[in-house]
């Protein structure tokens, strides 16, 4: 781990930097999942975070790491929604202006919330990669400072603070289930968890359709995938062909990656609502979905599940909660 782009010491420093600016979210035991799985199952309720997802940790750490001069130029990022919301909030708290570039696949509820926080919004193309082209232009031509949604050491370190809280709440945790997209959360959590508890397994979870990190890990290098609609829309987007941080860390630290169908993700959302009384978006439900599906096989100790976000279109959530078709 000493040779990886983000260290345990940097994650611990991030925890001190963002303290008081983000919530230390609850960690609760799920009676229903514990009974079903035969081992203690704890839920890290990160969807209770101020902006509705874990992304506030990384965005806040990244903004606070900038010089006052850099913050004054304004920050910019491509986002599938939750990072944009977090960066808009973190920038506003420090008196900076955020510009968020998103594709047309980002749900309107996420776009409108980013606008409400005072950020400039640009809708570009049909993928996060196309939105990133606009980000690069704004950096080159207007001098804005890019704060990427995942492939940035300060962002990864900020997300890793969540892993520190998990180990503190469940010191004997055997398995941590973490949503996997561009790898910022998975890389940071894995570095923190394995830094504190080396024997703990960390498993990345994502959707079957358009899983860029899984395809890249299988190929041995970053690759592009087609971005398609999914209940787990926050897990969409590529990892960047020039990825410098998260691909290396996920390859080194993740013990496994599991793909989930749309029906399985929908089942996770329904369980979260009906049994745990929690509203989570598809990306936030993948840990529960993996447990319900039985894809993890035999569990040999306590499990921690990250419920990463709640920023779901409520019409979609109502349809899924009532047993509607996952599509």
CATH at residue 232: 3.40.50.1100
Residue that is last in its domain, among 89, 123, 146: 146
Residue 73: half-sphere exposure toward Cβ, Cα within 13 Å:
17
93, 111, 146 — which closes off a domain? 146
Beta strand 75-78 with 145-146 is: parallel
Flag whether pLDDT at 326 surpasses 70: no
Q: Is 308 a catalytic residue?
A: yes
Beta 256-260 vs 201-207: how paired, if at all?
A: parallel
Q: State pLDDT tens for residues 211-228.
A: 999 999 999 999 999 888
Contact between 209 and 237 under an 8 Å Cβ cutoff? The reply is: no
- Angle among Cα 270, 276, 282 to the nearest 5 degrees reads 40
Question: What is the overall mean pLDDT for the chain?
Answer: 95
Measure the CA dihedral 230/243/72/158, to 10°.
70
Higher pLDDT among residues 108 and 59, named by residue: 59
The pTM score is 0.93
Q: Report the pLDDT value the prediction gives residue 237, as an integer from 0 to 100.
A: 81
Give how many domains the chain has, as a whole number: 2
Identify the active-site residue in 44, 55, 110, 214: 55
Sheet with 303-306, side-by-side order of all strands: 27-29, 41-44, 303-306, 175-179, 201-207, 256-260
Tokens of 91: 């920038």
Q: What residues have CB less than 8 Å from 261, skipping those under 6 apart?
A: 207, 208, 326
Lowest-confidence pick of 221-225, 231-235, 267-271, 303-307: 231-235
Q: Is 13 part of a structural domain of the chain?
A: yes
Residue 126 annotated as catalytic: no
| Residues 210, 111 within the same domain | no
Domain boundary pick from 99, 126, 146? 146
Q: Provide long-range contacts, Cβ within 8 A and 24+ apart, for 316-320.
A: 316/107, 316/231, 317/269, 317/273, 317/279, 317/281, 320/231, 320/266, 320/269, 320/270
In a domain, 326, yes or no: no
Residue 176: predicted pLDDT: 98
CA 249 to chain centre: 15
């Amino acid at each position: 781990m000493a040779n990886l782009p983000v260290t345990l010491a940097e994650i611990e420093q991030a925890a001190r930097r963002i303290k008081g600016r983000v919530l230390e979210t609850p960690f609760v035991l799920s009676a229903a999942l514990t009974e079903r799985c035969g081992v203690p199952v704890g839920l890290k309720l990160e969807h209770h975070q101020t902006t509705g997802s874990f992304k506030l940790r990384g965005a806040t750490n990244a903004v606070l790491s900038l010089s006052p001069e850099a913050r004054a130029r304004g920050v910019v990022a491509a986002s599938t929604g939750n990072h944009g919301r977090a960066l808009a909030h973190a920038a506003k708290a420090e008196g900076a202006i955020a510009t968020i570039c998103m594709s047309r696949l980002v749900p309107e509820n996420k776009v409108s919330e980013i606008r409400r926080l005072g950020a400039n919004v640009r809708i570009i193309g049909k993928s996060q990669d196309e939105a990133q082209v606009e980000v690069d232009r704004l950096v080159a031509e207007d001098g804005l400072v890019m704060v990427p949604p995942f492939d940035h050491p300060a962002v990864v370190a900020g997300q890793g603070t969540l892993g520190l809280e998990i180990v503190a709440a469940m010191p004997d945790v055997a398995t941590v289930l973490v949503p996997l997209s561009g790898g910022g959360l998975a890389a940071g959590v894995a570095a923190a968890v394995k830094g504190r508890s080396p024997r703990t397994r960390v498993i990345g979870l994502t959707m079957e359709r358009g899983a860029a990190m899984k395809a890249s890990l299988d190929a041995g290098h970053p690759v592009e995938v087609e971005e398609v609609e999914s209940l787990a829309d926050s897990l969409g987007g590529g990892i960047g062909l020039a990825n410098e941080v998260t691909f290396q860390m996920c390859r080194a630290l993740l013990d496994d990656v599991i793909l989930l169908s749309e029906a399985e993700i929908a089942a996770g959302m329904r369980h979260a609502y009906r049994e745990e009384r929690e509203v989570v978006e598809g990306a936030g439900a993948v840990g529960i979905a993996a447990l319900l599906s039985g894809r993890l096989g035999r569990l040999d100790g306590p499990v921690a599940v990250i419920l990463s976000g709640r920023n779901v279109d409520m019409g979609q959530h109502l349809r899924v909660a009532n047993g509607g078709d996952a599509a």
